[in-house]
Chain A
């Protein structure tokens, strides 16, 4: 096992302890604004599942940083992403979270009308304004990419390399892309989706996901399934280390009962293990032998984050109507336990007593790398 490099020494408080970010980083709207500008509106952002957009004109609107983004499919079925803003006077074009447009996207204010490629196709008196270019005044586009069965967007003028950012996170964690490909995530179907409205800063949620020092205290069911989590070591600290199921455990379920059909690409070396990956800035991927759990965070404010979580199974499992309750319940409880912990921290971030931050114990030291990363993005 290869350990990740230790954090920069200027965070060091003592031999055991490293300093966290100060409390202001979690509550100050100006910091959140800067994070939107430098992180969420620049990096690749995992927006929706491809099955959320089944056909031309089906749409989802999502919050990416400070922007509302409209995702749809063209008449030819190609993914399209637009700023959800009418080019005329700036009214929000689609006010629903999801739906199916019949012919076009029409602004409810002055009826400027756009096709599914974003082109301006009609507007009152448009024919008497031949100087108004229909492409020029089409919806402003964002970059879109399909990967792992999800639609990723980048609001940057020039998107960062997907390979050197998103895919690198997989390499850093698993050591090889083939380790992820074994799960064939893009071919899986959503068996369950739960959306959590969390009253906490997005960084608290990432930090929580990165460490397991809390596991034995707040995750009794998870620790039962993955006994090594009781030692407090981080599941994401060592390259390609998966947490082994307990001896009596038959599957990744709330009571350790047998799970669903194992994914066909999973060999014996991985068929009793849990792997967790953080893809900065807003995605968690959890790999177990019979399903994959994907968390997408939508930071809405310094103290509020929506987290949409999908439980993905083989399509044959979902179609069969198999009972997923025990399977979903395990990580649903983990989510509720984690988000409750994050919500407990959030108000305290504004406390005078936390202005200089707290400390990270050795099994949390890799969180300092995340802090260094955030700090460098904002510098």
Chain B
């Protein structure tokens, strides 16, 4: 598990882009105070999902409005077609820990791991 951030680093209803891992991930804190982590980059085009709009357990990409389910990574409709990876989150004593997925990421054209 990696220590990613503190609870207070992520306001309710918003996301935080984490660039200390590659590819970057986004940590979201829902209005109900649930925490989720997914790959931050939309699978359609290079855009940060942390800059998108969080509603319930879904984040809408700020560029072309595809929505991803934070629980499964699945996308609702095009232009994005492939899911984002989800990462396991544990919150202890106000600190956010993440276990990164070992699957291959679904990055958009032109974006590479470690780039």
Contact = CB atoms under 8 A, between A and B. Distances in A.
Contacts of A128: 46, 111, 115
B46 A111 contact: no
B48 A126 contact: yes
Interface stretch (B57-65, B70-78, B82-90, B96-104): B57-65
B53 A103 contact: yes
B75 to A, nearest CB: 17
A127 B62 contact: no
A113 interface: yes
A217 interface: no
A122 B48 contact: yes
Contact of A104 (B24, B48, B62): B62
B106 interface: no
Of listed A103, A111, A113, A124, residue having the most chain B CB within 10 A: A124
A124 B62 CA distance: 10
A103 B62 contact: yes
B17 interface: yes
A326 to B, nearest CB: 49
Main secondary structure of the interface of B (DSSP, over half): loop
B47 interface: yes
Contacts of B63: 106, 111, 113, 122-124
Of listed B46, B111, B115, residue having the most chain A CB within 10 A: B46
A127 B64 contact: no
A121 B51 contact: yes
B51 A122 contact: yes
B41 A103 contact: no
Of listed A103, A122, A123, residue having the most chain B CB within 10 A: A122
A14 interface: no
A125 interface: yes
A127 B47 contact: yes
Contacts of A111: 63-64
Contacts of B62: 103-104, 113, 121-122
A106 B63 CA distance: 8
A127 B45 contact: no
A89 to B, nearest CB: 16
A127 B53 contact: no
Of listed A113, A126, A127, residue having the most chain B CB within 10 A: A127
Interface in B34-51: 40-41, 45-48, 51
B47 A122 contact: yes
Given A121-B51, A122-B47, A122-B48, A127 B60 contact: no
Given A111-B64, A121-B51, A125-B110, 8 more contacts: A106-B63, A122-B47, A122-B51, A122-B62, A124-B45, A124-B47, A124-B63, A127-B24
26 contacts: A103-B62, A104-B62, A111-B63, A113-B63, A121-B51, A122-B47, A122-B51, A122-B62, A123-B47, A123-B63, A124-B45, A124-B46, A124-B63, A125-B45, A125-B110, A126-B46, A126-B47, A126-B48, A127-B17, A127-B40, A127-B41, A127-B46, A127-B48, A128-B46, A128-B111, A128-B115
Interface of A: 103-104, 106, 111, 113, 121-128
